[in-house]
């Protein structure tokens, strides 16, 4: 009974229009896929986009995958206000410096000028810090493990659906702990949750590690990040987890009475992942025919296209309905029984929309008591007996999920180059070929020198043991750092 | 492994503090229950509140109950921007008149004054109307059945958690149809979805019907409403569904090419239900011991309190864990194995938090291979054999759900009085005893006359056949109208 998540073909749209080549016109390819697959659309306020039902259904599945992991690690959802008093934002010095230029301000409400402007939240550390100071009294109240799903606003002039928008949907976790170690462990644990989610649910492999200090979140002690590599060789920061130390605890006076009867500041963390990751998964897997969705987050995992021409039409339709209802509890399946478009049109259309598996059923197939399964990636047509579909379909979907991960992993692995000299580094960055792995002595001057080479930034500090020299000063490397141009 | 949804008792909080009498101090009772049960808290921006994890968990269950119904009736979720250009709000004359005074305006962003202020959405008919005009081309694109879950802002000076807040969470459905009949049918269907949700999931019976024109949504042709009766005799508008006719289609030029090859305006609807309904369910069911939650939306449906003093402590704890894991897939169960508070303290605390069912287990019970079930409402202690719990607990929960509905239904039924004269009407309103049922001739003057009697407003026009006269003019009644004071 559920309505299709995509529009009917309209008179004028005709056959699926061409999508630019992904290899040659990557940015245009991305925009075309987002618009044609009806994932998102532009909106008259610059920087704002609309997420259409098919795109939102992917986001809902992503939310479920994350939310399940958050709850399994003891976190609870809550909701904090959209508006943050200007004075709150100013309490933590680095925080206000980092965010003030990006803030949208409400200055008028209910017909009156406000005495204190209200920030539309760019992130909620300050609002939540204020509440935690009210709620936390004793060590018994710790840890506080809260997440919220909400919209945030950061002023942006450029707009790329999902990747860069003024308003975006995300989740932000905010936790408070008794000890420094507990805070550090939480921030690392949530990074690992993000990594597992990206790889397991989205088939997007990532590098994970600590941000250099120059790139950390405003107000954080340390920031951790997962970074995916896009097909144009640029990195996408896909989720971050921050150990905030006692910076916000001091700014908002969040104290607890410990079991030794002394008052102490708590240790806090925050971590966030936004719909930007949805943009990442579009870029990572799509091809020249359009979107490719990993089965775990595909609104329709399989589409049944019955061949309804000629004799045997009614029998085919009846059998297709029976396949759909047989698969339905375990598989998100859609029966495309439209008669105003041809099967060939449907094949193209569903491929463009990234449905992982097509199930074809014609009169001849029905005569042989079989259907033909056509995976979106990996190629091949596989005839499967009708009474084996309930087993075969979930198994092929799992296979597709793995194929996508392996493809993306192979791409990532083959796009990491190691540079030991500044010339090698500059050449690798200029080639736009992915991550450049370098040793780093730890001096900020050396980081600054490399930043000037072609617009790359240090994406993360890995936990690997450094081998070679720092390419900038030639001194001994203390860390391994991955550089890339980035979104 | 999930963390408790409520804080640990802190040193200073001690035993659960007294809650004011619901009958004598209803407003104070409400505030005390909301704060003590940790459903919500105040926030320094006037009109804004924080929804704490235990309160948010109820909202999540409410969302699930509604979302399931929306999807079963063919609707899809999407997301439209928070910001609405001022010019959009002005396109529909009645709409802007209704909402402009309540709008919060963003006038500054990214360090600059904006050339056109942006409204923080008070509702999204205009933003969505603009997009529908882009998306809808042919009759084949219809109906468009979209819902969104989001925050909206309406400037408010008063604050009552859930009931009246400047920012609130809600869902807003927006649909477009080919014919007037389809639009009317949709708006009635969604009203029925709301009614069923309120009664089935929340055990809150409602009256439903059409709003008189004086009370309809700004820009609507007709508005439909469900209205619940609170224990103080005031009505709570708990969900509304609007037939918008072609008003927004004309304002935003939403046209389609029909099968007869002529261009026509679509017919639109919108319908919304907010966290206000959560306030309604608190008021409807709570008592002097605190919150009472209907099992379907209770974050914990059952709490196990083992008696851990003296001999047999370990065996009791082991058995309690086994009960919890045995019930866990079918029942949202919490094992309260804290040792820093007494069982008596826990009994009070969980009663205050409205958990529908308590399961007590002491050494003596264990000796008899039984546990004692204590429902939050309906009274009585029921010993049940351990091996019968998996069957008994869901069945008692279903019984509690029904008991709550019956109690609330009995209250509603006994608080509807019929008035046939203006004196009767005035007396009934002055007595603050609930809904007053009157005939209405249909003249606005008569409605205005009744409005002046003690601050009541016409809540809805019922589909009942009118019997008596219009109490205002004495003329023949054409409709039956329910009046009440309202939140």
Q: Is the pLDDT of residue A403 over 90?
A: yes
pLDDT of A62 reads 98
Q: Nearest Cβ partner of B108 from A3, A107, A145? A: A107
Is there a contact between A74 and B3 if contact means CB atoms under 8 Å apart?
Answer: yes
- Give the C-alpha separation, B130 to B132, whole Å: 6
Q: Is the pLDDT of residue B429 over 50?
A: yes
Residues from chain B that touch A51, judged by Cβ atoms under 8 A, are 78-79
Torsion-angle region of B14 (φ positive above 0: left; ψ -120 to 50: alpha; else: beta) = left
Q: In angstroms, what separates the C-alpha of B133 from chain A's closest C-alpha?
A: 12
pLDDT interval class at B11 (50, 70, 90): very low
Contact between B417 and B446 under an 8 Å Cβ cutoff? The reply is no
Mean pLDDT value across chain A: 94
Q: How is B268-334 classified by DSSP, letter by letter? A: EEEEEEETHHHHHHHHHH-BTTB----GGG-S-SEEEEE--SSTTHHHHHHHHHHHHHHHTTTS-EE
pLDDT of A3 reads 52
Quick: pLDDT tens for B257-299: 999 999 999 999 999 999 999 999 999 999 999 999 999 999 9
* Bridge partners, residue A209, by sequence: A225
Quick: pLDDT tens for B149-192: 999 999 988 889 999 999 999 999 999 999 999 999 999 999 99
**Other beta carbons less than 10 A from residue B281's beta carbon:** 28
Contact between A293 and A173 under an 8 Å Cβ cutoff? The reply is no
Tell me what the mean pLDDT of segment A6-27 comes to. Answer: 72
Q: Nearest Cβ partner of B76 from A3, A45, A150? A: A3
Name the H helices within B108-147: 125-135
Quick: pLDDT tens for A205-222: 999 999 999 999 999 999
Q: How is B53-94 classified by DSSP, letter by letter? A: HHHHHHHHHHHHHHHHHHHHTT-EE-B--SEEEHHHHTSSHH
Q: How far is CA B448 from CA B214, B419, B429, B458, in A?
A: 10, 16, 15, 10
pLDDT interval class at A2 (50, 70, 90): very low
Q: In angstroms, what separates the C-alpha of B416 from chain A's closest C-alpha?
A: 36
pLDDT of A9 reads 59
Indicate which of A57, A90, A105, A112 best probes the interface with B, i.e. most B CBs within 10 Å of its own CB: A105
Highest mean pLDDT among B8-12, B237-241, B449-453: B237-241
Query: Which long-range CB contacts under 8 A does B22-30 form with residues at least 24 apart?
Result: B22/B231, B22/B286, B22/B287, B22/B288, B23/B231, B23/B288, B26/B231, B26/B232, B26/B283, B29/B286, B29/B288, B30/B160, B30/B279, B30/B282, B30/B283, B30/B286
pLDDT of B1 reads 38
pLDDT interval class at B2 (50, 70, 90): very low
Q: Is the pLDDT of residue B221 over 50?
A: yes
When comparing pLDDT for B189 and A309, which is higher?
A: B189
pLDDT interval class at A7 (50, 70, 90): low
SS3 B1: coil
Is there a contact between A135 and B41 if contact means CB atoms under 8 Å apart?
Answer: yes
**With pLDDT > 90 as the criterion, what percentage of chain A qualifies?**
88
Which chain A residue has its CA at the smallest distance from B154's CA? A110
Residues from chain A that touch B106, judged by Cβ atoms under 8 A, are 104-107, 120
pLDDT of B12 reads 45
**With pLDDT > 70 as the criterion, what percentage of chain B qualifies?**
97
The residues near B364 (Cβ < 8 Å, ≥ 6 apart) are none
pLDDT interval class at B453 (50, 70, 90): confident
- Give the C-alpha separation, A315 to A449, whole Å: 71
Contact between B279 and B238 under an 8 Å Cβ cutoff? The reply is no
String of b and e for B45-73 (b: at least 16 CB within 10 Å)?
A: bebbbbbbbbbbbbbbbbbebbbebbbeb
Is there a contact between B11 and A138 if contact means CB atoms under 8 Å apart?
Answer: yes
B345: closest CA among B396, B383, B307? B307
The secondary structure of residue A143, as a DSSP letter, is P
Torsion-angle region of A203 (φ positive above 0: left; ψ -120 to 50: alpha; else: beta) = left
pLDDT of B4 reads 60
Q: Is the pLDDT of residue A435 over 50?
A: yes
Q: In angstroms, what separates the C-alpha of B300 from chain A's closest C-alpha?
A: 13
Residues from chain B that touch A104, judged by Cβ atoms under 8 A, are 83, 106, 108-110, 118
Residue B401: is the preceding peptide bond cis (ω within 30°)?
no
Quick: pLDDT tens for A238-296: 999 999 999 999 999 999 999 999 999 999 999 999 999 999 999 999 999 999 999 99
Torsion-angle region of B432 (φ positive above 0: left; ψ -120 to 50: alpha; else: beta) = left
Quick: pLDDT tens for B81-117: 999 999 999 998 888 888 888 999 999 999 999 999 9
Mean pLDDT value across chain B: 94
pLDDT of A240 reads 98
* Bridge partners, residue A40, by sequence: A51
Residues from chain A that touch B118, judged by Cβ atoms under 8 A, are 45, 104
SS3 B139: helix
Q: In angstroms, what separates the C-alpha of B236 from chain A's closest C-alpha?
A: 23
- Give the C-alpha separation, A384 to A395, whole Å: 12
- Give the C-alpha separation, B277 to B283, whole Å: 10
Q: In angstroms, what separates the C-alpha of A8 from chain B's closest C-alpha?
A: 6
pLDDT interval class at A4 (50, 70, 90): low
User: How many inter-chain contacts (A to B, CB under 8 Å) are there?
Assistant: 213
Is there a contact between A140 and B340 if contact means CB atoms under 8 Å apart?
Answer: yes
Quick: pLDDT tens for B43-96: 999 999 999 999 999 999 999 999 999 999 999 999 999 999 999 999 988 888
Quick: pLDDT tens for B289-322: 999 999 999 999 999 999 988 788 999 999 999 9
Q: Is the pLDDT of residue A405 over 60?
A: yes
- Give the C-alpha separation, A432 to A411, whole Å: 14
Given the DSSP bridges, would you call strands A263-265 and A255-257 parallel, antiparallel or unpaired?
antiparallel
Quick: pLDDT tens for A142-196: 999 999 999 999 998 888 999 999 999 999 999 999 999 999 999 999 999 999 9
Is there a contact between A3 and B151 if contact means CB atoms under 8 Å apart?
Answer: no
String of b and e for B125-151 (b: at least 16 CB within 10 Å)?
A: bbbbbbbbbebbbbbbbbbbbbbbbbb
Which chain A residue has its CA at the smallest distance from B99's CA? A110
Is there a contact between A104 and B102 if contact means CB atoms under 8 Å apart?
Answer: no
pLDDT interval class at B454 (50, 70, 90): confident
Quick: pLDDT tens for B320-356: 999 999 999 899 999 999 998 999 999 999 999 999 9
Is there a contact between B76 and A56 if contact means CB atoms under 8 Å apart?
Answer: yes
Is there a contact between B155 and A127 if contact means CB atoms under 8 Å apart?
Answer: no
pLDDT interval class at B129 (50, 70, 90): very high
- Give the C-alpha separation, B138 to B257, whole Å: 5
Tell me what the mean pLDDT of segment B113-122 comes to. Answer: 96
- Give the C-alpha separation, A182 to B241, whole Å: 49
């Amino acid at each position: 009974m559920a309505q299709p998540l995509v529009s009917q073909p309209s008179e004028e749209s005709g056959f699926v229009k061409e999508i630019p080549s992904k290899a040659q016109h990557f940015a245009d390819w991305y925009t075309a896929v987002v618009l044609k697959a009806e994932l998102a659309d532009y909106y008259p306020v610059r920087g704002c986009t609309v997420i259409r039902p098919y795109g939102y259904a992917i986001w809902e599945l992503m939310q479920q995958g994350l939310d399940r992991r958050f709850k399994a690690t003891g976190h609870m959802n809550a909701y904090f206000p959209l508006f943050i008093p200007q004075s709150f934002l100013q309490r933590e010095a680095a925080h206000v410096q980092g965010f003030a230029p990006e803030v949208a301000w409400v200055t008028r409400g209910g017909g009156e000028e406000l005495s204190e402007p209200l920030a539309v939240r760019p992130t909620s550390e300050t609002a939540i810090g204020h509440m935690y100071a009210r709620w936390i009294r004793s060590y018994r109240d710790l840890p506080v493990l809260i997440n919220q799903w909400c919209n945030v606003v950061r002023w942006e002039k450029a707009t790329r659906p999902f990747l860069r928008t003024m308003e975006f949907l995300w989740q932000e976790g905010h936790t408070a702990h008794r000890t420094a170690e507990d805070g550090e462990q939480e921030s690392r644990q949530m990074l690992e949750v993000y990594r597992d989610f990206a790889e397991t649910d989205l088939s997007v492999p990532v590098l994970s590690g600590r941000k250099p200090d120059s790139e950390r979140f405003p107000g954080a002690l340390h920031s951790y990040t997962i970074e995916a590599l896009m097909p144009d060789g640029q990195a996408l920061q896909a989720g971050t987890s921050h150990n905030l130390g006692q910076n916000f605890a001091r700014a908002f006076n969040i104290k607890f009475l410990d079991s030794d009867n002394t008052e102490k500041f708590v240790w806090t963390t925050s971590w966030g992942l936004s719909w930007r990751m949805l943009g990442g998964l579009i870029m990572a897997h799509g091809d020249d025919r359009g979107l490719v969705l990993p089965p775990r987050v595909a609104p329709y995992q399989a589409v049944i296209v019955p061949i309804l021409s000629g004799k045997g039409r009614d029998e085919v339709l009846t059998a297709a309905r029976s396949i759909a209802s047989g698969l339905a509890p375990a598989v998100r399946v859609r029966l495309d029984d439209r008669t105003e478009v041809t099967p060939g049109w449907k094949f193209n259309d569903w491929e463009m929309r990234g449905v992982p598996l097509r199930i074809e059923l014609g009169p001849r197939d029905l005569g042989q008591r079989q259907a033909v399964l056509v995976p979106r990636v990996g190629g091949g047509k596989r005839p499967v007996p009708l009474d084996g579909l309930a087993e075969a379909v979930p198994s092929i979907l799992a296979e597709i999920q793995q194929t996508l991960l392996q493809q993306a992993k192979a791409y990532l692995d083959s796009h990491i180059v190691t540079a030991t000299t500044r010339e090698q580094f500059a050449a690798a960055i200029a080639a736009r070929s992915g991550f450049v792995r370098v040793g780093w002595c730890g001096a900020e001057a050396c980081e600054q020198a490399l930043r000037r080479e072609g617009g790359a930034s240090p994406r993360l500090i890995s936990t690997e043991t450094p081998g070679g020299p720092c390419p900038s000063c030639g001194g001994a490397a203390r860390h391994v750092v991955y550089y890339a141009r980035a979104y």
